[in-house]
């Protein structure tokens, strides 16, 4: 198994991965946690994949996080009498609530919230942005639009409304059923799609409670606008560049990505860069040079994790995609400027004992040849703060809580081991040294930094730092 990279790999499971052994091979190639995409597949499919992951987790004795990704509202036009129409630039098209099959003059838009929110001058994007319409008039149950960019439009194509805040919950009836199933199954993370405002996080949190951690997907312009508040309320952020790249000008996406990563780093919240990272590897054993550069940039910018979607879910080369992503991560992390770039973007510490210790271990690990930072953490909070500093040495998190260990599988530089035998202060060093050596993260003569909270078992009490040598 690869413990020599700090940026994590989140891989999506789908039809391309057909057995427990295939899941194990992905983990051995570098995957740290898995995504179950509830936009596709039946509950039985997800339950089987969940079981495979947990069996591999037991086989390898390594915590593996599981993320369920909710579909969210899917906004689409209705059907056409002839299946499709060709829209010409400059022509007018009415979108209304009438369910009658459409033609080149009108079509059903079965979403009253969109009609209510749109105003003259606003644009709609159809079929992943291939067609663009501008609202010229609004009525009680319809809008009239002018075609700015035309083309073929067929049944049930998607609609994006980048300039309007829609009065829609991010959770559909399907999402609520899926969420109940996933929580009963025991997923560690829930990714919330279609986030527009902080209130969406509050709504989802009320349903999830403490049963899983909540990841907000940033894919709407309004979510970018409310990024700070959303990131403060969520446990992690996913930069979902697919829909985001449709709803905002493509040239703005790289800067938005940098901004989101910087915000999450300041808050100490894990951030995932997702969508089309190695897209060409769905059908090719090698990526394009642009894709390699894209992954490398996300790593260099300080992301906690990078994600594979269709590449591992339905592609022809899932194993090669993971291996390639692992190689790119290692290449960047071993580069001469990587640590310097992370240090330049280092967030300002807060006036807390935890941050003071986290800053200290970063400085010590830059001065001394520290092999590993060992942190005892019940909740994972102090480990998240340590990872926020992006120290040069990897972080070995020791926790009695398997749920915490699975959560931290997403976090930069952290390798977790479940350990419930630590009860006395005098066991701190001996246990840390023993486990670090057993995990292959340190050997005789190596220097270790060890942090813990005394008394044990009380979250938020990290107050001890030791420097030890493995004899």
What pLDDT does residue 1 have?
Answer: 47
CA distance 323 to 25: 10
End-to-end Cα separation, the chain, in angstroms: 25
Sheet hosting strand 395-399, strand order edge to edge:
414-418, 395-399, 370-376, 447-453, 462-469
Distance CA 130, CA 152 (A): 9
Is 385 catalytic? The answer is: no
Selected catalytic residue, list 5, 35, 282, 390: 35
d(CA 413, CA 308): 19
DSSP state for residue 471 in the 8-state scheme: -
Query: Other CB atoms closer than 10 Å to residue 146's CB: what's the count?
Result: 15
Q: Which residues contact 62 (CB under 8 A, 6 or more apart)?
A: 1, 27
pLDDT at 4: 84
**Catalytic residue (choose from 20, 54, 74, 76):** 76
Which of 106, 217, 269, 406 is catalytic? The answer is: 217
For residue 429, what pLDDT is reported? 86
Alpha carbons within 13 A on the beta-carbon side of 438: 12
Residues 6+ apart with CB under 8 A from 451: 357, 361, 373, 374, 375, 376, 382, 386, 462, 464, 465, 466
What is the distance between the alpha carbons of residues 413 and 257, in angstroms, rounded to a whole number?
20
Taken in order of first residue, the domains within the chain and their CATH numbers are 8-73+171-335 (3.20.20.60), 84-160 (2.40.33.10), 348-469 (3.40.1380.20)
* pLDDT value at residue 464: 84
Respond yes or no: is residue 35 known to be catalytic: yes
Task: Give, to the nearest 10 degrees, the angle between helix 289-300 and helix 318-333.
Answer: 50
Is 76 one of the annotated active-site residues of the chain?
A: yes
- The answer to whether 262 touches 268, Cβ cutoff 8 Å, is no
> Exactly one of 12, 145, 263, 275 is catalytic; which is it?
275
Burial of 437 (0-12, 13-18, 19+ CB in 10 A): middle
Is 5 among the residues known to form the active site?
no
Q: What is the pLDDT of residue 209?
A: 97
Nearest of 287, 284, 262 to residue 273 by alpha carbon: 262
Q: What tens digit of pLDDT does each residue of 35-86 get?
A: 999 999 999 999 999 999 999 999 999 999 999 999 999 999 999 999 999 9
At residue 459, the pLDDT reads 63
Per-residue pLDDT of the chain (471 residues; tens, 9 = 90+): 457 899 999 999 999 999 999 999 999 999 999 999 999 999 999 999 999 999 999 999 999 999 999 999 999 999 999 999 999 999 999 999 999 999 999 999 999 999 999 999 999 999 999 999 999 999 999 999 999 999 999 999 999 999 999 999 999 999 999 999 999 999 999 999 999 999 999 999 999 999 999 999 999 999 999 999 999 999 999 999 999 999 999 999 999 999 999 999 999 999 999 999 999 999 999 999 999 999 999 999 999 999 999 999 999 999 999 999 999 999 999 998 999 999 888 888 899 888 999 999 999 988 999 999 999 998 999 999 999 999 999 999 999 999 999 999 999 999 999 987 665 666 788 889 999 999 999 999 999 999 987 766 666 667 889 999 988
């Amino acid at each position: 198994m690869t413990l020599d990279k700090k940026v994590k790999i989140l891989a999506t499971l789908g039809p391309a991965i057909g057995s427990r052994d295939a899941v194990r091979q992905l983990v051995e190639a570098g995957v740290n946690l898995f995504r179950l995409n509830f936009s596709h597949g039946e509950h039985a499919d997800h339950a089987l994949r969940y079981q495979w992951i947990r069996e591999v987790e037991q086989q390898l004795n390594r915590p593996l996080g599981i993320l369920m990704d909710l579909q969210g509202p899917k906004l689409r036009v209705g059907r056409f009498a002839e299946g499709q129409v060709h829209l010409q630039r400059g022509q007018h098209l009415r979108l209304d609530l009438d369910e009658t099959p459409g033609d080149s003059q009108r079509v059903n838009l079965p979403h009253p919230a969109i009609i209510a929110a749109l105003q003259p001058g606003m644009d709609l994007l159809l079929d992943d942005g291939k067609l663009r319409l501008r609202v010229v008039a609004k009525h009680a149950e319809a809008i009239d639009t002018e075609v700015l960019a035309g083309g073929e439009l067929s049944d049930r194509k998607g609609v994006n409304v980048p300039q309007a805040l829609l009065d829609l919950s991010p959770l559909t009836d399907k999402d609520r059923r899926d969420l109940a199933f996933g929580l009963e199954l025991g997923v560690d993370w829930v990714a919330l799609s279609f986030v527009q405002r902080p209130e969406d996080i509050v709504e989802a949190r009320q349903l999830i409670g403490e049963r899983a951690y909540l990841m907000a997907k940033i894919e709407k312009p309004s979510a970018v606008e409310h990024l700070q508040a959303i990131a403060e309320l969520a446990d992690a952020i996913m930069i979902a560049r697919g829909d985001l790249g449709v709803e905002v000008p493509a040239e703005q996406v790289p800067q938005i990505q940098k901004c989101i990563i910087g915000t999450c780093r300041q808050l100490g919240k894990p951030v995932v860069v997702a969508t089309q990272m190695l897209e060409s590897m769905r059908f090719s054993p090698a990526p394009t040079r642009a894709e390699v550069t894209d992954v490398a940039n996300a790593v260099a910018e300080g992301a906690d994790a990078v994600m594979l979607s269709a590449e591992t879910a339905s592609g022809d080369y899932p194993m090669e995609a993971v291996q390639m992503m692992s190689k790119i991560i290692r290449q960047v992390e071993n580069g001469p400027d990587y640590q310097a770039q992370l240090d330049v973007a280092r967030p300002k510490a807060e006036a807390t004992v935890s941050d003071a210790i986290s800053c200290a271990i970063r400085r010590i690990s830059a001065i001394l040849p520290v092999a590993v930072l060992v942190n005892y953490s019940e909740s994972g909070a102090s480990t998240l703060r340590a990872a926020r500093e992006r120290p040069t040495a990897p972080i070995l998190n020791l926790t009695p809580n398997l749920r915490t260990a699975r959560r931290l599988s997403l976090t930069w530089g952290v390798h977790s081991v479940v350990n419930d035998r630590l009860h006395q202060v005098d066991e701190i060093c001996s246990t840390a040294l023993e486990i670090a050596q057993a995990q292959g993260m340190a050997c005789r003569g190596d220097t270790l930094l060890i942090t813990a909270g005394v008394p044990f078992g009380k979250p938020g009490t990290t107050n001890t730092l030791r420097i030890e040598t493995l004899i």
